[in-house]
């Protein structure tokens, strides 16, 4: 029976798998960043507590409003 002294290298298949995973991650990130709901959420997160209280609401209420048609919060 013959034995191989060289270690097996799987760099080509690993790089293909890595590139597929990286591409999928980039696509999902792109979709989430371009979703209007998450853009609204970014605007809420960028507001200070003073700006939110000047509107007469809370941060939690604003987030609830952004997701009100999707989730029961």
Structure confidence by residue, pLDDT tens digits, 17-29: 888 999 999 999 9
pLDDT beyond 60 at 1: no
pLDDT digits (tens, 9 = 90+) for 36-62: 888 899 999 999 999 999 999 999 999
Strands (E), 7-71: none
Q: Which residue has the tokens 């604003």?
A: 62
Q: Encoding tokens for residue 40?
A: 């609204």
pLDDT beyond 90 at 13: no
């Amino acid at each position: 029976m013959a034995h191989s002294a060289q270690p097996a290298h799987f760099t080509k298949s690993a790089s293909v798998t890595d590139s597929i995973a990286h591409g999928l991650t980039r696509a999902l990130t792109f979709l989430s960043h371009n979703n209007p709901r998450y853009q609204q959420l970014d605007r809420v997160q960028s507001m200070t507590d003073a700006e939110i209280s000047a509107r007469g609401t809370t941060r939690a209420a604003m987030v609830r409003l952004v997701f009100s048609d999707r989730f029961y919060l």
